[in-house]
Amino acid sequence: MRRVHRLPDRVASPQRDPGLAELTPDQRLRRLELTVTRRLDGLLHGQHRGLLPGPGSEAAGSREYRPGEDEVRRMDWAVTARTAVPHVRQVDADRELTTWLLVDASPSMEFGTADLDKRELAVAAVAAVGFLTAGAGNRLGAQVLTRDGVRRFPARCGRQHLVNLLRALLTAPRGDRTAAGAPADATADAASSLAGALTSVHRLASRRGLVVVVSDFLDTLPDHPQAEAGWEPQLRRLAARHQVLAVEVTDPRELELPDVGLVTLVDPETGRRREVWTGDPVLRARFAQAAAAQREQVRQALRRSGATHLALRTDRDWGADIVRHVHAQRRLALVPAGRGARTGGGGA
């Protein structure tokens, strides 16, 4: 009697495609670039419009007036009066985009219960913005908010600059405050606050452009839901001059507690611990209600600041969320101003 070999053991368990968090930094960079170029590339092509109508908005000096070529309304009267020779203003066209990124890498971003943690999702958002805004003449600068302060990357052109930024974000050391259980340092917290980092971006971003803030926006939230967040005035000042995109990163466990018995909750920012019995349905309901109110508080603060809000979650397809956001913004841009004021008053 011939022995029959069992083959289903090798066939029944197909190899699972490794997740982004399971890859090495270089492999993750290649995966992110492929994801962006395959799914998101082309969304912004052909959409390079000036930020303001007309030839440009950035002053670039003056030159002598040429009769028959220059418009009188572009006369630079200050230089004309000083030199007694007619001069016209020169401006730079708003075709070259300068993008500033503010990436929150504080301890609260080192949390996640899905395929990605919040920090890895923030890197994915940075990759999407970087590859989508890459183009001839476009520059990208970044500031990374860590527990110890702000790390700055000057605004430069080119793909290699973006790759170096993403590699620095992926390989940056994780905070160890939670493991050490040390109390919060007031000096370090003041240096690494979201409000302080926004102020720093405002000083650097002198030219009108795009500012992208990637954070969970949990920094200095007031207890009263209608009160102003600590970072709200700085974000509002940025939105007055720049186009601001606020990318809110959340995890499902920040919105609801599972019934898993007794757990120890740790504040990643301060290291404080508290034991909680998650089997209590009243406690879980109160937690979900408080978390929903906190998210609504962040959403209202971003809306009052004038920033465009993009919400990403670690348990969802971030590429699909970005695609939906871009298409929604395009539809809003096509709505006439008058009709948008009449029909869009109640939307976020």
Please report the pLDDT score of residue 201 as a whole number: 92
Our count of domains for the chain comes to: 2
One-letter amino acid for residue 265 of the chain:
L
Exposure string over 58-92, b if 16+ CB within 10 A, otherwise e: eeeebeebeeeebeeeebbeebbeeeeebbbbebe
Domain presence at residue 51 = no
The verdict on 71 and 140 lying in the same domain is no
Cα–Cα distance, 145 to 130 (Å, whole number): 18
Domain presence at residue 250 = yes
Domain presence at residue 187 = yes
Cα–Cα distance, 26 to 246 (Å, whole number): 27
Residue 193: which CATH number? 3.40.50.410
Please report the pLDDT score of residue 35 as a whole number: 74
Using the 3D structure, point to which of 91, 108, 132 is the last residue of a domain. Answer: 91
Neighbour count for residue 107 (Cβ, 10 Å): 21
Please report the pLDDT score of residue 13 as a whole number: 43
The verdict on 77 and 113 lying in the same domain is no
Domain presence at residue 44 = no
The verdict on 216 and 232 lying in the same domain is yes
> Tokens 């029959």 label which residue?
4
Please report the pLDDT score of residue 23 as a whole number: 67
Cα–Cα distance, 73 to 58 (Å, whole number): 16
Using the 3D structure, point to which of 91, 115, 148 is the last residue of a domain. Answer: 91
The verdict on 64 and 212 lying in the same domain is no
The verdict on 109 and 86 lying in the same domain is no
What tokens does 222 get? 């007031």
Cα 93 to Cα 8, 52, 134, 208: the distances in Å are 65, 9, 18, 11
H helical segments located in 242-317: 281-305
One-letter amino acid for residue 121 of the chain:
L
Domain presence at residue 312 = yes
The verdict on 300 and 239 lying in the same domain is yes
The verdict on 86 and 128 lying in the same domain is no
pTM over 0.85: no
Domain presence at residue 37 = no
Please report the pLDDT score of residue 278 as a whole number: 87
Domain presence at residue 197 = yes
Kindly give, in sequence order, each residue whose CB lies less than 8 Å from that of residue 26, ignoring residues fewer than 6 positions away: 167
Cα 3 to Cα 6, 7, 8: the distances in Å are 10, 13, 15
The verdict on 154 and 250 lying in the same domain is yes
The verdict on 84 and 138 lying in the same domain is no
Using the 3D structure, point to which of 91, 107, 139 is the last residue of a domain. Answer: 91
The verdict on 84 and 105 lying in the same domain is no
The verdict on 70 and 162 lying in the same domain is no
Please report the pLDDT score of residue 304 as a whole number: 92
Domain presence at residue 161 = yes
Please report the pLDDT score of residue 19 as a whole number: 57
The verdict on 203 and 240 lying in the same domain is yes
> Could you list the residue range(s) of the whole structural domain that residue 112 is in?
98-337
- Quote helix, strand, coil % in the chain, to nearest 5: 45, 20, 40
Q: What is the pLDDT along the chain (348 residues), one digit of tens a residue?
A: 444 444 444 444 445 555 566 666 677 777 777 777 776 655 544 444 444 344 555 556 788 888 877 778 788 888 889 888 898 887 655 557 889 999 998 888 888 888 888 988 999 999 888 888 877 678 899 999 888 888 899 988 888 888 888 888 887 777 654 333 433 333 334 456 889 999 999 998 888 889 999 999 988 777 777 778 889 999 999 999 899 999 999 999 889 888 888 888 888 777 889 898 988 999 999 999 999 999 999 999 999 999 999 999 999 988 888 888 888 877 776 665 445 444 443 333
